[in-house]
Amino acid sequence: MRHYDLVVLGTGSGNMLLGGFAHLRVAVVEPDRFGGTCLNRGCIPSKMFVVAADAAEGARAAARLGVHARVEPVDWKAVRDRVFHRIDPLHDSALNYRREKGADVYTEEGRFVAPRVLQVADERITAETFIVAVGARPVVPDIPGLDTVPFHTSDTIMRIDDLPASMAVIGGGFIAAEFGHVFGAFGTDVTIVQRRPRLLMEEDEQVSARFTELASKRHRVLLNAAVTSVEGDAGGVAVAVTCPDGDHVVRAAMLLVCVGRRPNSDRVDAVAGGLELDAHGHIVTDSAYRTSVPGVWALGDVVNHFQLKHMANAESRLVRHNVLHPQDVRTLDNRVAPHAVFTSPQIASVGLTEQEARRRGIEYVVSVRDYADTAYGWALEDTTSFVKVLANPVDRTVLGAHIIGPQAATLIQPLIQAMTLGLTVDRIGRDVLYIHPALTEAVEQALLDL
């Protein structure tokens, strides 16, 4: 067996933590592309598609401002190639960089055969320290007939050769929302099949309801819908769906399945490595990201339910520090974990939703202010976007914030900072100047209202 000081499994955020280990003998195990989900089939390419979709949608909507524009047929191949001609070369450069820095890079799949013993192809390797950062993958549901028809997940949909005339989307979460926006803006006729009563059900109930209302104007949306079977159809697929109003058949040229993601702990035989898993298959760690096996750390989507790159990046920085400084082990407080959905309209959220506060019996006060209450909202002719803030009525701190509308992911940042730093709504509402006439005035008004 070949022995190392450190072995890192996975090169998403796992690749980012390797700075500072030049004095150690290091190996990296990555059977797929360097950069992980985010770079190759997740956040980065999808947002590059979203920017193009926003441009197309913005041009069509400009008539409300007196600007009459027309979108010619979208050049799908040009959009796709702009994305991947930039992303794809990064794999080779990252792999070569690691080798040049002295790391042994294994490009075959690694599987634990015992605690801190990894089988890679026909070789076994051991190490004093392992860091498991192998991410997650799309769930493929058990739907009769699904294995007999071509379908896509978020892993493959961005690399298709031609823009489909129609698309059936199974799922109602953030991936469905984002790709529904992208393909709808590019001219595809989109049908979303959601088994629950609204889209984006994990968002604050007002945000979820508003988004469902707006999405239903752009797409055909079937709610409380159970997919009973899938079969091939002339030119595509036929999805059999049972809804409260009866049975339907959704016919489409292409099928996108996005019903969730599962951790890749099984792909590395985490149990054989002695690693404890939770009920969902995530590797169990403490707040310092130590696993049940001494010397083995884990981070990212294989560990937590957030499925957020910014969370994995923070974990990566923390684990690097803890491995390098075992006498000064730090922990990560993930109670303030913001996220955004880059659909149309954009959505951002942090902290408690109103329904969660009610369910947990947490006292709160709430303010909702429309973009339309601000001068920039007037400029946008916006009638549907809003900022919602929940606060503790006793200590006046922010409990949660939820925004739906243009620039939501940017507008929410001062509220994230307020929650992280424990600032009161009074301080951030009254003691901070907000630029007029920027959209941040909607945040200011919500805080002043509280």
**Strand segments (E) across 157-274:** 166-170, 189-193, 220-222, 226-233, 236-243, 246-252, 254-257, 261-263
Which of left, alpha, beta for 348 (phi over 0: left; psi -120 to 50: alpha)?
Answer: beta
What does the block give as tokens for 216? 């239903």
Question: Per CATH, is 345-449 categorized as 3.30.450.20?
Answer: no
Q: What is the chain's mean pLDDT, rounded?
A: 97
**Strand segments (E) across 253-300:** 254-257, 261-263, 296-298
The pLDDT of 2-23, averaged and rounded, is 95
pLDDT tens-place string over residues 237-281:
999 999 999 999 999 999 999 999 999 999 999 999 999 999 999
In the predicted structure, residue 333 carries a pLDDT above the cut 90: no
* In contact, 376 and 441? CB cutoff 8 Å: yes
The domains of the chain are located at 2-137+262-324, 146-259, 345-449
- Please tell me the CATH code under which domain 2-137+262-324 is placed: 3.50.50.60
Whole-number pLDDT of residue 325: 96
pLDDT tens-place string over residues 148-178:
999 999 999 999 999 999 999 999 999 999 9
pLDDT tens-place string over residues 411-433:
999 999 999 999 999 999 999 99
282 assigned to active site = no
Residue 77's nearest CA partner among 154, 161, 156 is: 161
Q: CATH assignment of 146-259, given 2.40.50.100, 3.50.50.60, 3.90.1720.10, 3.40.50.10680?
A: 3.50.50.60
Strands 254-257 and 166-170: parallel
Residue 380: pLDDT band by 50, 70, 90 thresholds?
Answer: very high
Task: Point out the catalytic residue in the list 3, 280, 325, 436.
Answer: 436
Share of the chain above pLDDT 70, in %: 100
Q: Is there a shared CATH topology between the 146-259 domain and the 345-449 domain?
A: no
The pLDDT of 287-309, averaged and rounded, is 96
For the entire predicted model, the pTM comes to 0.96
pLDDT tens-place string over residues 185-236:
999 999 999 999 999 999 999 999 999 999 999 999 999 999 999 999 988 9
Whole-number pLDDT of residue 75: 97
CA–CA distance, 6 with 102 (Å, rounded to integer): 12
Residue 334: pLDDT band by 50, 70, 90 thresholds?
Answer: confident
